[in-house]
Amino acid sequence: MLLMKKVFFFSLLLLTGIAANAQSEKYVKSMEKLIQAMDTTWNTDRLVELSNSFERIADAEKTQWLPYYYAALARVNAGYALGKNNAAEQTDPYANKAEELINKADALEANNSEIYVVKKLINTLKLIGDVMGRYMTAGAASAEALAKAKSLNPENPRVYLQEGIDKMNTPPQFGGSVEEGKKILEKSLEKFKAFKPASSIHPQWGESVAQRFLSR
Amino acid sequence: MSAKPLLLLFILMTGVYSLHAQTRISGKVTDKKGRPLYSASITLKDSYDGATSDSAGNYSFTTTETGSFVLVISASGYQQTEIPLTLDQPELKVDVQVKEQITELRAVVISAGTFEASDKGRTTVLNSIDIATTASGMGDITGALKTLPGAQQVGETEGLFVRGGTASETRTFIDGTPVNNFFYSSVPNISQRGRFSPFLFKGTVFSTGGYSALYGQALSAALILESVDIPDESEGRVNVSVIGLGAGLQHVAKNKKSSWGVNYDYTNLWPAFRVIKQKQDFYDVPVYHTADANFRIKTSATGILKYYGYFSHNKTGFRTNSIDTLGYKDAFGLKNLNTYHNLSWKEKIGRKWRLQAGTSFSVNNDDIDSHLQDGTNKDILLTGLEFKQFGLESRGRFYNLKAVLERRLRNLSMLRFGAEYNYSNERSVYTAYNGLRFDQRVEEHIKAAFAETDVYLTNELAAKIGTRFEHSSLLGKVNIAPRASLAYRLGEESQASLAYGIFYQNPERRYLPSPYDLNFSRAAHYIAQYQKVSRLTTLRLEAFYKKYHNLIKTEPFNNTTVAANNNGYGQAHGVELFWRDKKTIKNFDYWISYSYLNTKRDFLNYPGALTPNFAATHTASLVLKKFVLDWKTGFNLSYTYATPRKYYNIFDDGTGSKIIDQGETPDYHNVGFSMNYLPKLGTKKKGQFTVLVLSVNNIFGLKQIYGYNYSYNNIRRQAIIPPSRTFVFIGAFISFGVDRTDDIINNNL
């Protein structure tokens, strides 16, 4: 009887342990699957779908910042995937929704360099929609977010990735330079080599993007 | 016995993962009109499961969850919809119809009669940079607004003459409260500039009719200015130009919760007048000292307290050949001291309420002296022309207080109400040639209360209904002014609006005090508008009808002109067009405005209903802007044309006023050009930022005649023309981050 009781409690412990573990395993597995899908997707509709999926996980988990972070990243990339020469009318819905999502991530995880990288991406998307009209607002916010990302973690390779791309894409009259941009991208590659993500689902994207821009 | 539960446990443990039921949920998402919704997110609440609708609105997904759940459907621009369901069968079909959300982004905008210039509003026609860079504007707020439809090209005096109304029928408001001396004090036949820099304001609303019940004492138009908030960073500035020097400092606290600033500008037209010959002979070239100070404090996450204080002293004096007696000169001198202070507070109270309160105080002192002088510029007294020798001291004190409470209702609907108190005390002392002094004082207390509601029935249909109530202590009368406007969205980018309103205004100060019993003047506005706005193009068509009642009639009284009665009347109707296009030609921006105006009025000393001398039938403007990136230079060109205006010589020989001469001025043409060169463009936030400006008004020196002055005995007349045909402005504005200044100073020491 005593043995049976012990076995019962042991089993119960085991069972709850598995359940709890299964929960986080389910979270990690689902996230890994979606993150992998993101790495191979550059299509607006598909990225919106992924963003929705991340948001679902985020809403269900409630305390995890990563799914909101990826939901925002997928959403802002969906805006970029529309292609160049899209006016603010087209890109703003993506930027606004991404902003809403990244603010949720920010509320759960304050002062994270990765979150500011996404904020930078969002403001740059807004800027591209209306360069003349938003140079002073979104342009300044974008530069500010990137500076903050750098100050929070100077080792974050994605900071240099964005800085390099910006330098390459800015017209020379505004201080842009393809050559200098590439130098910064080289630096980002060094940082990528040294970078160790905190887990399999923490941000680690960007190395292939840097290589793609360098080969242009 | 002991193995059984163990077995059961194992079955349970392994079974949890294999024995679940799977449910496939599918369906279609549509809006209220049955159109499929693309990219809507469908989520089984608190699970990872869900889908995104495709272009036909269809979705489907499978879930291993069982029991009671809530299906959440969300899409941007639509209300989130929740549907409870029980997962107890392998197939579930859930079709969803979602309701459109009434949001600022989608809802129709109540826009009849208004032109908004700001950096945020969707109905924005110009932004603050446009105001500063419009070629003919010469950096003056009203200069740029004169290129919009509705405003007349009146060059001999300052102010906005809107839709057949006089300049005094347009009132200016800063942060809600009226401004009493928005322009520098009047000088005969020379239009004066506005006192305030366009860079002080983040939003400008120019309403050419049908405006909100929040504003009163303006028969024709309202210019509503909203001051800037806390700037992004500390900044110092220096400017040097052909007409003066200035410097300023704006300091922002580290936590960005407060800021303060001071500015000083010195303007002296001596060098400019040396080069550009003026029609007048200036014995006292205009000199202006202007200083201002401000502070802004965030009182909470949503509240801000703002102060702006302004001090100005300026003087001028000039001679012109006298029209009244040949060989003699008229001399006119003016000294002005003006101070203006505005304190305003905005705060959100709870989730639904907002308070906006403001108070302003200003003092305006004018000292005018008028003389008749001989060929050697000595004062001389001629019999019959003694009236040309006088002094006039005006002392004005103005105090305004206003509070508006706003409550959010369903959707975007709002209820606003509040009260306003305006006090003015204007004293004038007229000293005649013989030393006799006439001391007059006009004191007025206007108390007003108003209420207004914005009702959004759907994203397509909105209405604004309001009423204003005023009491004037001077007139001893009250008025009630209803206002209403309606907007209906016709398509993605187009909408139609209607506006109606009754507007009251006191008699003008210059015809007071009066020995007679007077009433408010009244105007009724009827406006219909169509507009189509996309981000790069704006098309706006407006038709209006305005009826004036109880306009002031004047009569001679003790050598002056006073308000006699309210027997005047008038009407104005017209059609206006505005088209702005940044799209057709890349990096090139232009706008066209056209106004047709038909107006007649009997007021002041008019012998009957006449087309007033400030109204042209057709007015058109073309404004071009091009920024050349490679040269870091912006080029701005503007052309304004107006058809002839009437002029009259109205004379009262004691038996009533009569027209003894009349005619039409020539057509009006003005071509303005300006260039802004930004040598440091692209290196923003790194040290200094420089703008070099070259601006030329009436570049081709076209002859402009605004009307005629007549001699007191009606035997001579003289064309009213600008002091110089062309004016050129060259200046440099340099601003730099304050934190950087320290670096620069340290590095150089």
Give pLDDT tens digits for B542-575: 999 999 999 999 998 877 899 999 999 999 999 9
**What Cα–Cα distance (Å) separates residue B457 from each residue in B78, B412, B462, B464?**
15, 9, 6, 11
Please tell me the distance from the alpha carbon of residue A178 to that of residue A195, in angstroms, as a whole number: 25
pTM of the model: 0.82
Tell me the average pLDDT across B429-441.
Answer: 93
Residue that the structure tokens 């605004």 belong to: B706
Instruction: Kindly report the number of other CB atoms within 10 A of residue B575's CB atom.
Output: 15
Please tell me the distance from the alpha carbon of residue B77 to that of residue B39, in angstroms, as a whole number: 12
Alpha carbon A122 to its chain centroid, in Å, reads 10
Residue type, A198: A
How many residues are listed for chain B in this entry? 749
Residues in chain A within 8 Å Cβ distance of B52: 48-49, 52-53
Whether the pLDDT of residue B265 is over 70: the answer is: yes
Tell me the average pLDDT across A167-178.
Answer: 82
Please tell me the distance from the alpha carbon of residue B202 to that of residue B229, in angstroms, as a whole number: 8
Whether the pLDDT of residue B745 is over 70: the answer is: no
**What Cα–Cα distance (Å) separates residue B423 from each residue in A24, B171, B363, B397, B404?**
70, 16, 12, 8, 18
CATH number of B114-748: 2.40.170.20
- Residues B436-468: b if buried by 16+ CB within 10 A, e if exposed: eeeeeebebebbbebbbbbbbeebbebbbbbbb
Instruction: Kindly report the number of other CB atoms within 10 A of residue B365's CB atom.
Output: 17
CB contact under 8 A, B76 and A52: no
Distance linking the first and last C-alpha atoms of chain A: 75
Class of domain B19-98: mainly beta
pLDDT at A19: 47
Select, from the ranges B226-230, B472-476, B688-692, the one with the highest average predicted confidence (pLDDT): B472-476
User: Is residue A125 classed exposed, middle or buried when 0-12, 13-18 and 19+ CB atoms within 10 A define those classes?
Assistant: buried
Quickly state the pLDDT bin for B459 (edges 50, 70, 90). confident
Lowest mean pLDDT among B397-406, B417-426, B624-633: B624-633
Instruction: Kindly report the number of other CB atoms within 10 A of residue B704's CB atom.
Output: 21
Whether the pLDDT of residue B7 is over 80: the answer is: no
Tell me the average pLDDT across A195-207.
Answer: 92
Q: Is A7 helix (H, G, I), strand (E, B) or coil?
A: helix
Tell me the average pLDDT across A85-103.
Answer: 87
Q: Please report the number of interchain residue pairs, chain A to chain B, with beta-carbon separation below 8 angstroms.
A: 79
Could you give the residue ranges of the DSSP H alpha helices within B349-431? none
> B724 Cβ partners below 8 Å, 6+ apart?
B276, B277, B278, B279
CB A76 within 8 A of CB A125: yes
Please tell me the distance from the alpha carbon of residue B513 to that of residue B654, in angstroms, as a whole number: 22
CB contact under 8 A, A56 and B47: yes
Nearest to B651 by CA among B587, B711, B582: B711
User: Is residue B225 classed exposed, middle or buried when 0-12, 13-18 and 19+ CB atoms within 10 A define those classes?
Assistant: buried
pLDDT at A4: 59
Tell me the average pLDDT across A186-190.
Answer: 94
pLDDT at B683: 55
How many residues are listed for chain A in this entry? 216
Tokens of B70: 């809530």
Please tell me the distance from the alpha carbon of residue A8 to that of residue A16, in angstroms, as a whole number: 12
CB contact under 8 A, A59 and B46: yes
Please tell me the distance from the alpha carbon of residue B218 to that of residue B172, in angstroms, as a whole number: 9
Residues in chain A within 8 Å Cβ distance of B536: 87
CB contact under 8 A, B2 and A140: no
Q: Which pLDDT tens digit goes with each residue over B700-726?
A: 888 999 999 999 999 999 999 999 888
Please tell me the distance from the alpha carbon of residue B41 to that of residue A97, in angstroms, as a whole number: 12
Which residue is closest to B46 within chain A, CA to CA?
A60
User: Is residue B632 classed exposed, middle or buried when 0-12, 13-18 and 19+ CB atoms within 10 A define those classes?
Assistant: middle
Task: Give which of B42, B44, B52 to mutate to test A binding, by max A Cβ within 10 Å.
Answer: B52
Report which of residues B631 and B453 the model is more confident about: B453
Restricting to A residues 35-64, those with a Cβ less than 8 Å away from any Cβ of B are: 45, 48-49, 52-53, 55-57, 59-60
List the strands of the sheet with B50-52, edge to edge.
Answer: B50-52, B41-44, B67-74, B81-87
Tokens of B625: 């802007």
List the strands of the sheet with B201-207, edge to edge.
Answer: B124-126, B114-118, B201-207, B221-227, B170-174, B177-179
Pairing, β B96-98 against β B23-31? parallel
CB contact under 8 A, A26 and B48: yes
- Residues B653-671: b if buried by 16+ CB within 10 A, e if exposed: eeeebeeeeeeebeebebb
Task: Measure B317 CA to nearest chain A CA, in Å.
Answer: 43
pLDDT at A98: 96
Report which of residues A132 and A199 the model is more confident about: A199
Tell me the average pLDDT across B474-484.
Answer: 96
Asked if A17 reaches chain B (Cβ–Cβ under 8 Å), the answer is: no
pLDDT at B17: 44
Q: Which pLDDT tens digit goes with each residue over B325-380?
A: 999 999 999 999 999 999 999 999 988 999 999 999 999 999 999 999 999 999 99
CB contact under 8 A, A55 and B41: yes
Residue intervals in chain B for CATH 2.60.40.1120: 19-98
Of B13, B535, B629, the CB nearest to A173: B629
Residues in chain A within 8 Å Cβ distance of B627: 132
Report which of residues B417 and B737 the model is more confident about: B417
Please tell me the distance from the alpha carbon of residue A128 to that of residue A146, in angstroms, as a whole number: 16
Tell me the average pLDDT across B685-707.
Answer: 83
Of the CA atoms within 13 Å of residue B86, those in its CB half-sphere come to 2
Measure the CA dihedral B145/B149/B155/B160, to 10°: -60
Residue type, B57: G
Residue that the structure tokens 């989608």 belong to: B106
Nearest to B343 by CA among B227, B232, B198, B217: B227
Residue that the structure tokens 């015809």 belong to: B511
pLDDT at B681: 64
Please tell me the distance from the alpha carbon of residue B517 to that of residue B378, in angstroms, as a whole number: 44
Residues in chain A within 8 Å Cβ distance of B632: 173
Q: Which residues of B touch A (CB under 8 A)?
A: 2, 5-6, 9, 12-13, 39, 41, 43, 45-52, 76, 119, 127, 232, 534-536, 627, 629-630, 632, 681-685
Restricting to A residues 183-202, those with a Cβ less than 8 Å away from any Cβ of B are: none
Quickly state the pLDDT bin for B124 (edges 50, 70, 90). low
pLDDT at B747: 37
Lowest mean pLDDT among A139-148, B124-133, B676-685: B676-685
Tell me the average pLDDT across B311-329.
Answer: 94
Reply yes or no: is the peptide bond before residue B231 cis, omega within 30 of 0: no
Whether the pLDDT of residue B15 is over 50: the answer is: no
pLDDT at B102: 76
Of A56, A87, A139, the CB nearest to B43: A56
Tokens of B365: 């002192």
